[in-house]
């Protein structure tokens, strides 16, 4: 009897997953292949599926079933954790009227299409009315969910459960106190020459090289594929269908390299989740901070390391001899780690990157507090780039329109990028302790021992733990910014011998 109920619970969860992943396929197509005039119908289709998924996931029968199972003392630990997580999600979804869910889905689709068009035209004003509707819905969502001291609590909790604005303020105060002065010291140093990275690089050759990097990381192309999109992203429909996108600039070699490695890190996490737990919390990623830890670990701790390029650079030189034959691996290593104030978050160096995140966090909180309006966004964006990075924003495409997140309604997402970077340094330190000769592995192009370690220590658990519990289990301590700061100091004091800090 108990097993039958447990089987019914799992089947109900998998039906909801079927609907949500079907929506995800349509969303992937919307960003990759959908023709321009398909946007109106696609918005309707996604809204319809969102309503169906909401009804399925908040049915009274499902709630009763979970309560009955949780009341039993015979439920095993993993099943109990799945039930507790599913019930938490269920109770949260009950706070949303179906009408609101459908309206949010349609508004997101419309806002995304408007963002794409505005970005091409460098015209924020054409996008603003769509974003205004979305922001109004996010205000409503905060009230529906409820929150503690600040409406932003309701937003960040969706991506990093248990985290509050107070936690983020403390973290970013630490960043401003300890990381920002270090970065400013580096910004004052003579910068390495990276002009060769911005010569002409054939896009088809870049594409093929990116595929080789993904294969080297262990990305399974029988369970995934790569395509081109306006903004690089990773999506999955199961652990056996995980797709990545990249973007390529023929005059910026870094665009493709870093988006491939970054999204590849996300994809390895999704491919490493237990496929037999499809639809259950134990088969889903833990949090966006943990997710970002995987992409940032591969992108920065591995992909921007000297060891990685000692192996991979000769092949890149062979592909572009006219640009790189006279550029040594040390010169290349210094160039790809050049620290400089820049406009675009996704191509920022790993240190100033956190200023980009901080800017977005401060703007989002002002927006949620209703201290500023959507129409104010370009002004605040530009002024904060001047304040934190000392640069002038030339246009909206390179400014307030550069990120896709707000058009998706993903307010509260940006802080997880910094959280993920800090987790990444901590996890990589532990991997260095646990894997004898890891640096030698990376130097020889063998990334499988690291992938296996991440599979066994991070990926396989899904949502069986909280982020803090997992961090404690893996590293023996909670998230500790010192790991990132020590990593940054060791690396950049080596790159800038005259730093003296």
Mean pLDDT of all residues in 113-127: 96
Q: What pLDDT, on the 0 to 100 scale, is given for residue 264?
A: 98
High-pLDDT (> 90) share of the chain, % = 95
Q: How many CB atoms lie within 10 A of CB 497?
A: 8
The answer to whether 442 and 307 have CB atoms below 8 angstroms apart is: yes
CA-atom Rg of the chain in angstroms: 23
Examine the residue annotation and report whether 263 is marked as an active-site residue of this protein: yes
Q: Which fold has domain 165-495?
A: 1.10.1370
Interatomic CA distance for residues 475 and 487, integer angstroms: 16
pLDDT tens digits, residue range 472-494? 999 999 999 999 999 999 999 88
Residue-range domain boundaries for the chain: 2-146, 165-495
Q: What pLDDT, on the 0 to 100 scale, is given for residue 499?
A: 43
Q: How many CB atoms lie within 10 A of CB 293?
A: 32
Tokens of 428: 């990589």
The verdict on domain 2-146 having CATH code 3.40.50 is no
Domains 2-146 and 165-495 fall in the same CATH topology: no
Interatomic CA distance for residues 234 and 266, integer angstroms: 7
Q: What pLDDT, on the 0 to 100 scale, is given for residue 376?
A: 97
Q: What is the mean pLDDT of the chain?
A: 95
Say whether pLDDT at 334 is over 70.
yes
pLDDT tens digits, residue range 227-284? 999 889 999 999 999 999 999 999 999 999 999 999 999 999 999 999 999 999 999 9
Pick the catalytic residue: 110, 141, 160, 263? 263
Say whether pLDDT at 8 is over 90.
yes
Detail the DSSP E strand segments found in 133-239.
Answer: 224-228, 234-238
Mean pLDDT of all residues in 168-196: 94
Q: How many CB atoms lie within 10 A of CB 163?
A: 21
pLDDT tens digits, residue range 288-328? 999 999 999 999 999 999 999 999 999 999 999 999 999 99
Tokens of 413: 């997402």
pLDDT band at 501 (very low <50, low <70, confident <90, very high): very low
Tokens of 477: 């301590």
pLDDT tens digits, residue range 363-408? 999 999 999 999 999 999 999 999 999 999 999 999 999 999 999 9
**Residues 213-223, buried b or exposed e (16+ Cβ, 10 A)?**
bbebbbbeeeb
Interatomic CA distance for residues 364 and 156, integer angstroms: 11
Mean pLDDT of all residues in 430-439: 97
pLDDT band at 147 (very low <50, low <70, confident <90, very high): very high
Cα-to-chain-centroid distance, residue 203 = 25
């Amino acid at each position: 009897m108990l097993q039958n109920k447990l089987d019914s619970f799992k089947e109900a969860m998998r039906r909801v997953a079927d609907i949500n992943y079907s929506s995800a396929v349509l969303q992937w197509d919307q960003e990759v292949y959908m023709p321009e005039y398909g946007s109106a119908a696609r918005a309707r289709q996604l809204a319809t599926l969102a309503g169906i998924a909401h009804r399925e996931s908040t049915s009274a029968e499902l709630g009763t079933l979970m309560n009955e199972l949780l009341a039993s003392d015979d439920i095993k630990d993993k099943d109990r954790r799945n039930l507790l997580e599913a019930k938490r999600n269920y109770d949260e979804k009950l706070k949303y009227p179906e009408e609101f869910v459908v309206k949010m889905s349609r508004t997101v689709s419309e806002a995304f299409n408007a963002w794409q068009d505005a970005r091409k035209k460098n015209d924020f004003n054409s996008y603003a009315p769509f974003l205004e509707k979305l922001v109004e819905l996010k205000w409503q969502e905060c009230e529906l969910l409820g929150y503690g001291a600040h409406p932003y609590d309701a937003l960040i909790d969706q991506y990093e459960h248990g985290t509050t604005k107070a936690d983020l303020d403390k973290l970013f105060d630490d960043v401003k106190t300890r990381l920002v002065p270090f970065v400013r010291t580096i910004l004052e140093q003579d910068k390495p020459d990276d002009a060769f990275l911005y010569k002409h690089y054939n896009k088809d050759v870049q594409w093929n090289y990116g595929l080789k990097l993904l294969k080297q990381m262990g990305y399974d192309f029988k369970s995934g594929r790569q395509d081109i999109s306006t903004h690089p992203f990773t999506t999955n429909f199961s652990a056996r269908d995980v797709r990545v996108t990249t973007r390529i600039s023929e005059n910026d070699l870094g665009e493709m390299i870093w988006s491939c490695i970054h999204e590849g890190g996300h994809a390895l996490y999704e491919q490493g989740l237990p496929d037999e737990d499809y639809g259950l919390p134990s088969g889903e990623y833990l949090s966006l901070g943990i997710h970002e830890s995987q992409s940032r670990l591969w992108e920065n701790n591995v992909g921007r390391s000297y060891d990685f390029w000692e192996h991979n650079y000769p092949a890149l030189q062979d592909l572009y001899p006219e640009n790189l034959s006279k550029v040594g691996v040390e010169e290349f290593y210094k160039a790809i780690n050049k620290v400089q104030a820049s406009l675009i978050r996704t191509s920022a160096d790993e240190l100033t990157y956190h200023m980009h995140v901080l800017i977005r966090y401060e703007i989002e909180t002002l927006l949620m507090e209703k201290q500023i309006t959507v129409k104010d966004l370009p002004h605040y964006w530009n002024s904060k780039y001047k304040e934190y990075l000392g640069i002038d924003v030339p246009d909206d495409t390179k400014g307030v329109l550069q990120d896709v997140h707000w058009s998706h309604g993903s307010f509260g997402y940006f802080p997880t990028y910094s959280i993920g970077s800090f987790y990444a340094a901590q996890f990589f330190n532990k991997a260095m302790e646990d894997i004898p000769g890891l640096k030698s592995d990376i130097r020889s192009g063998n990334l499988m021992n690291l992938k296996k370690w991440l599979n066994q220590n991070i990926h396989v658990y899904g949502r069986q733990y909280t982020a803090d519990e997992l961090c404690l289990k893996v590293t023996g301590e909670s998230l500790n910014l010192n790991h990132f700061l020590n990593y940054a100091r060791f690396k950049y004091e080596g790159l800038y011998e005259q730093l003296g800090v």
